[in-house]
Amino acid sequence: EDALDRAILAQTSANLEVVSAAGLELREPIADKLVPGGFGESIFLDAPGLLPDQVCIGDELTCWREGQEQALRLQVVSPRCPCAKIDQKLGKTYTIGGVRAHCASTAHGGFFLRVLHSGDLQEGDIFMLVARPHPSWTVARVSRLLYSHPTANMNYLQRAKAAISDQVTQAIRREEWMGTEAELSELAALPELAVVEY
């Protein structure tokens, strides 16, 4: 059931524009690879202004088609912390200066959605924000607090694999958390936050 927390990965055109203009010093150019589907997302949102500082944990979205509300209802549950496949595909730079590390700390890798009510989705459908219970908890803020410490950013993937198998390894260590104790407690208490990372 916890895996359903992250049923859909969304990426936005605004994120692709920012990654393209980020000035990352990569081993290979990526401009022609920053296209819909390039991040392995389930849905691509053509939304030029939709950046990670405008998407919040708990946001609820309804789907509209030709002026009619559809059954599909989604909820934002977490920023995406991309895996190494992103660096393999985009830039072949496996360091803190690569696309994966940049996207992990900025939330430009997209965000995950939980399905609150199932329904279909078609090209051209429009999502409308209908609820925002936690306006201060943007996916950009969550990514910055969790993944912007260089050690956490570069070791997260290996630690997460170990944590899954041994149930004791910490994917992110307390000293790598970039916020206050109060922020950590507040974030952990958000019922809408995804329970699992993978």
pLDDT digits (tens, 9 = 90+) for 124-157: 999 999 999 999 999 999 999 999 999 999 998 8
Helix %, strand %, coil % for the chain, to 5? 35, 20, 45
Q: How far apart are CA 130 and CA 60, in angstroms?
A: 6
Under the banding of pLDDT at 50, 70 and 90, the label for residue 73 is very high
Q: What mean pLDDT value characterizes the chain?
A: 93
Q: How far apart are CA 97 and CA 23, in angstroms?
A: 10
Would the pLDDT of 1 be above 70? no
Q: Name which of 100, 82, 188, 198 is nearest 137 in CA terms.
A: 188
Q: Helical H runs in the chain?
A: 13-20, 85-89, 99-106, 139-147, 150-166, 181-188
Q: Compute and round to an integer the Cα radius of gyration of the chain.
A: 17
Under the banding of pLDDT at 50, 70 and 90, the label for residue 93 is very high
